[in-house]
Amino acid sequence: MNNDSSVASLATRLRAEATGLRAGTRMPSSRTLTERYRVSPVTVSRALALLVAEGVVVTRPGSGTFVAERRAAASGEADRSWQNTALGERRVDPEGVALGLIPVPDGIVPLVGGYLPEGLRPTRALAAASARAARRPQAWGAPPPEGLPELRAWFAGLTGCTPEDVLVSGGGQSSLWLALRAVVAPGGPVLVESPTYPGLIAAARAAGLTPVPVPVDGDGVRPDLLAEAFARTGARAFVCQPTFHNPTGSVLPPDRRAGVLKAARQAGAFVIEDDFARHLSMGAAPAPLVAGDAAGTVVHIASLTKATAPSLRISGIVARGPVAERIRAAQLVESFFPARPLQETALEFVSSPSWPRHLRAVSAELRRRRDVLAAALAEHVPEIQLPSLPSGGLYLWGRLPEGLDDAALTETARAHGVAIAPGRPYFPAEPPAPYLRLSYSAAADTDALVEGVRRLSAALRASR
């Protein structure tokens, strides 16, 4: 069971229980609640803490937890509609980012999600690294604004650049946001792959930019189409995921990598390389675009989050020349720097023997899960076409038969007990066909993957 959803579920039950009791009534003990609801003491503690924060209950050390005095009811709902005029038309749409963050209820098989399954996360190794990091003398002081020198050197080693080219930032999404705002003027166009990661589309629009789609095929973006898009739009940036592209899983071949750099240089534009899945490889991963770029065309983003745990939000941004100064200035103004304890923890972990062992385990397990999910799809829903099997990443990208509505199928699938992601949000404009993105990382195990596909098959039959 997802721990956060367990806490929320227990809090809902205890909130309802407290509502029916008089103020001052003692709530059942933590031990009683643990036994009654068959949850861990940690879950009970967190649920009670949530209710304390809400003012539903109060705790009295040595005595227990009691129903709080009822708050006086508001005399009426205040009219806040004036805010719509003050805020104007511009809004931030979080849907693209929230897609992979919404908890899946118990009983629903998750074929959605963008993180490693709980059993594959290096929780113990991270806890040990965090404990070691916290004991460092300067762990709670301010780090250098560009990041810990040793961590910058580690990120530099991934790209063949120098540590001075690296800025330690707070996760891939934050880094994308910084890079977009540093490189593209407000209101300007930014070229993006189509399909692409919905969080990128959301970040671009939230920054006041216009994402312009450049189609991809089985080998990624075509340099000739990219060059045409630069010429047509006057864009000064192209955001891409050349290694284990989300959602298709494609890897841009060497000739296209060279063509992308050539097209950008001829246009006097930047390439923002989102290298989010490098450590999710099932074999060898090609060198990043930035490794062959001396001119400073590429702004490279490498994140640790996907290969570790959702809250290890640490990434490295590689940039050279004036754009590097602009990105560093933007981070300094926005958030100063990522928390030093988190940087120290990341450094401890990637410098330990646990890191290569973890990567080997991730590679083997993701390959096994990918193969099981692909085989189950071939057996139970052969009408979903898989153009290819990715050699890294967390997803399969499947094309649905013509005439099917991917959004409607998503709702039907949920009613049949399986959560899937429709393909539509991955396109910055109208999609050319209906697609699904199916994650093999979120389900509890391979048996759950097979069961999820069986439920998806039933949903497909019901949709026709």
Residue ranges in 20-140 assigned as alpha helix (H): 30-37, 41-54, 82-87, 95-98, 123-134
- What average pLDDT score do residues 394-408 get? 93
3-state secondary structure of 80: coil
- Tens-place pLDDT, residues 307-361: 999 999 999 999 999 999 999 999 988 889 999 999 999 999 999 999 999 999 9
Q: Which of 66-70, 297-301, 360-364, 438-442 has the lowest mean pLDDT?
A: 66-70
Q: Is the dihedral of CA 254, 257, 259, 262 positive or negative?
A: negative
pLDDT level of residue 98 (50, 70, 90 thresholds): low
CB under 8 Å to 337, separation ≥6 — which residues?
142, 143, 144, 145, 147, 168, 331
Residue 261 predicted with pLDDT over 70? yes
Residue 1 predicted with pLDDT over 50? no
Q: Which of 41-50, 147-156, 190-199, 220-229 has the lowest mean pLDDT?
A: 41-50
What is the predicted pLDDT for the residue at 443?
A: 92
- Average pLDDT of the chain is 90
What is the predicted pLDDT for the residue at 43?
A: 87
Q: Which residue has the tokens 């990208």?
A: 397
Whole-model pTM?
A: 0.81
**Which domains occur in the chain, in start order?**
3-67 (1.10.10.10), 95-121+356-462 (3.90.1150.10), 140-350 (3.40.640.10)
Q: Are 25 and 67 in contact (CB under 8 A)?
A: yes
More confident residue, 45 or 300: 300
Q: What is the DSSP string of 349-367?
A: HHTSTHHHHHHHHHHHHHH
Distance between CA atoms of residues 230 and 400, nearest Å: 31
